[in-house]
Amino acid sequence: MAYIPRSSFIPKEATGAIPMQIKKRHSLHVFGLVSTLMIIGSLVTAVGAFFYKDYEQKQLQIAKDALQTESAQSADNAKKIEEIRRYDQKLKTASNLLGNHIAPSAIFSELESSTKETVQFKALELTYDPGFELMLTISGNSKELSSVALQKMQFFKDNLFTEFVVRDISLATEMPGTDGKTQPKETSSTDGKANFTITGIFDKKNVRYTGDTALSGVTTNSNTIPASDGTPVESNPATSTSNEITP
C-alpha cells in the first residue's frame, strides 16, 4: 500500500524564525543608524578639525613670538661671543707662555752650587728660544786638567744638562820671560792653566718658572761673592771657599 503524504497542522517554517518582512525592516533600521552615526561623526570631526586648526595656528604664532623674543634678547650675541673668544684665547696664550717661562736666575744658582772650588768660569752665553731648548755655553779655567775632569763629572752628577760637551781644552804654563814677566805658553804639561769650554743643553726642568722662584729659587744671600776678576763663585762651604776666588 502506497504512502500518501497529507497536509500537516505543523507550520512549514521553523518556530522562532523572523518573518522576512520584519527582518527587512530591522536591517533598514541598522543601516539608518550607521549612516546617522557616520554623518554625525563626520560633522563633529570636521568642526573639531576646523577649530583645532585655528588653535594650532595660534600656538604657532605664540612659538614664533617666543623665538623672536629670545632672539631679540641676544641681539648683541656676536659681540659677546667675540668677547668670550678673545678672553679664552688670552687665557690659553698666557698659560702657554707661562708654561715655557724660565727663571734664568736659577741657572746661576744651579751653576754656583755645581761649580768646583778649583774652577773659574770666565764667560757665559745663554740662548733660549721659548718652547725649544735652552743652550748654555760657559768658558772657564782651572789650575789643573784634573779639575776640568772633576767639573765635568760634577755636572754629570748634578744633571744640570741633558747633554753637554767639554771642548777647546788648552793648557798654558807660566814661563819666566826675559824681562822678568811671565809669558804664557801652550803646552800639554799638567802644571799650568787649563782653559775649557762647556756647551750643552741645560735641563729646563731645573729652571722652569714656578711662580715662587723670585722668592725661593734664587739665592740672593750675601755669601755670593764675585771674584775680583768678576767671576761669580758661591761661597758654599760644601763646594767652595772664598779663598779660592782671590787671584
**CB of residue 91 vs other proteins: minimum separation in angstroms?**
7
Closest C-alpha to 197, from 133, 121, 114 = 121
Cell numbers linked to 102: 724660565
Q: Does 113 bind other proteins (CB under 8 A)?
A: no
By C-beta, is 18 or 97 nearer to other proteins? 97
First-to-final CA distance of the chain: 172
Q: What's the angle, vertex CA 219, arms to CA 106 and CA 230, rounded to 5?
A: 80
**CB of residue 16 vs other proteins: minimum separation in angstroms?**
28
Q: Does 204 bind other proteins (CB under 8 A)?
A: no
Q: Which of 226, 241, 242, 246 binds other proteins (CB under 8 A)?
A: 226
Phi, psi angle pair for 122, to nearest 5°: -105, -25
Residues 6+ apart with CB under 8 A from 158: 110, 113, 114
DSSP bridge partners of 165: 199
**CB of residue 65 vs other proteins: minimum separation in angstroms?**
10
**CB of residue 212 vs other proteins: minimum separation in angstroms?**
9
Query: Cα–chain-centroid distance for residue 23?
Result: 90
Q: Does 35 bind other proteins (CB under 8 A)?
A: yes
Chain positions 37 to 66 lying near other proteins, rule: CB under 8 A, are: 38-39, 41-43, 45-46, 49-50, 52-53, 56-57, 59-60, 63-64, 66
By C-beta, is 54 or 174 nearer to other proteins? 54
By C-beta, is 18 or 214 nearer to other proteins? 214
Q: Which of 113, 118, 122, 154 binds other proteins (CB under 8 A)?
A: 122
Contact 161, 203 (CB under 8 A): yes
Cell numbers linked to 180: 822678568
Please name the amino acid found at residue 186: E
Q: Does 230 bind other proteins (CB under 8 A)?
A: yes
Cell numbers linked to 163: 747633554
Q: Does 242 bind other proteins (CB under 8 A)?
A: no
Q: Does 23 bind other proteins (CB under 8 A)?
A: no
Contact 185, 172 (CB under 8 A): yes
Q: Which stretch binds other proteins (CB under 8 A): 36-44, 144-152, 154-162, 238-246?
A: 36-44
